[in-house]
Structure 1
Amino acid sequence: MLQQGLVVFAKNKKRISAFYQQTLGLLVEESDTSHDLLRGRGMEIVVHTIPRRVAAGVVIAKPPAPREETPLKPTFVVGSLEAVRRAVEATGGYLKPASGAWHFRGHIVLDGWDPEGNVVQFKQAV
């Protein structure tokens, strides 16, 4: 099966892995101290631990603030934005209120971020 992929570098691998597992319905296919390989629905996400010396300089606000300085924003088609909202809340991320959603190319679109502030976009078909 064709797999589209994304690597997410994380200060807290366990927490970020749980976020992507629950929001996207992915399963852990492989796990060790350096990374988790998550797969499902034609995609794979590798959650990779950043080195301790680098992690020491990374400050994660509570609640997490979006890291908007990156030029990339991954987008994921999901079956239900409400199911994503429940998963986001359970794993410490953030999803903008439903009133902030917009319609684009047959989808309802809503931005949020994972527990470390990495901005992501979720789209539900209309």
Structure 2
Amino acid sequence: MPADPTVAAAAVIYAKDVARVGAFYAKVAGLTLSQPEPGYASLESPALQLFIVAMNPAIAARVRIAQPPVPREDTALKFIFPVASIADARPLAAEAGGVLKPVAAEWEFNGHRHCDGHDPEGNVFQLRERVA
């Protein structure tokens, strides 16, 4: 049984720069960022807890993050965050060091508009908004 029964799901993203990645998801996905601790940050919404955890130093030493970051699309997972407006989130992603694909790359499915992007370390995510 979850420690907090009001939260529906939780996820972890491993990062080299915990503070930067945590700030990115707070800004772009509208999650509330708790006071970061050494080695991790905790973000949440009514439906999700997201933990940004520092990579093991041995692994972090092998991970190269290009500038601008290259999307790491060879992963089996992609987190999807609901937003009120993808258009409003696009400049926020850029300001925070990430990217949302252009409007031409958006698509509609299951009553939502979707758009992929990546965070400042290249982790791929998706935003979705309800279609009226």
Query: Is residue 96 from structure 1 mapped to residue 101 from structure 2 by the alignment?
Result: yes
Query: Is residue 120 from structure 1 mapped to residue 125 from structure 2 by the alignment?
Result: yes
SS of residue paired to 2:43: strand
Runs of 5+ consecutive residues of structure 1 not aligned to the other structure: none
TM-score by length of 2: 0.90
Whether the 8 Å contact between 2:19 and 2:36 is mirrored in structure 1 is no
| Alpha-carbon distance, 1:39 to partner | 1.1
Q: Could you tell me how far apart the structure 2 residues matched to 1:111 and 1:23 are?
A: 12
TM-score by length of 1: 0.94
Aligned equivalent of 1:74 = 79
Match of 1:14 among 1, 16, 19: 19
Aligned equivalent of 1:25 = 30
Moved more, 94-103 or 76-85: 76-85
Query: Is residue 61 from structure 1 mapped to residue 66 from structure 2 by the alignment?
Result: yes
Count of matched residue pairs: 126
Cα RMSD of the aligned pairs, angstroms, is 1.2
SS of residue paired to 1:115: coil
Whether the 8 Å contact between 2:7 and 2:49 is mirrored in structure 1 is no
Query: Is residue 43 from structure 1 mapped to residue 87 from structure 2 by the alignment?
Result: no
| Alpha-carbon distance, 1:12 to partner | 0.6
- The structure whose residues are more often strand, as a share, is 1
Query: Is residue 34 from structure 1 mapped to residue 17 from structure 2 by the alignment?
Result: no
Q: Could you tell me how far apart the structure 2 residues matched to 1:28 and 1:122 are?
A: 18
Aligned equivalent of 1:110 = 115
Q: Could you tell me how far apart the structure 2 residues matched to 1:68 and 1:2 are?
A: 28
Whether the 8 Å contact between 1:23 and 1:83 is mirrored in structure 2 is no
Q: Could you tell me how far apart the structure 2 residues matched to 1:2 and 1:55 are?
A: 30
State the 4+ residue runs in structure 1 displaced beyond 3 angstroms. none
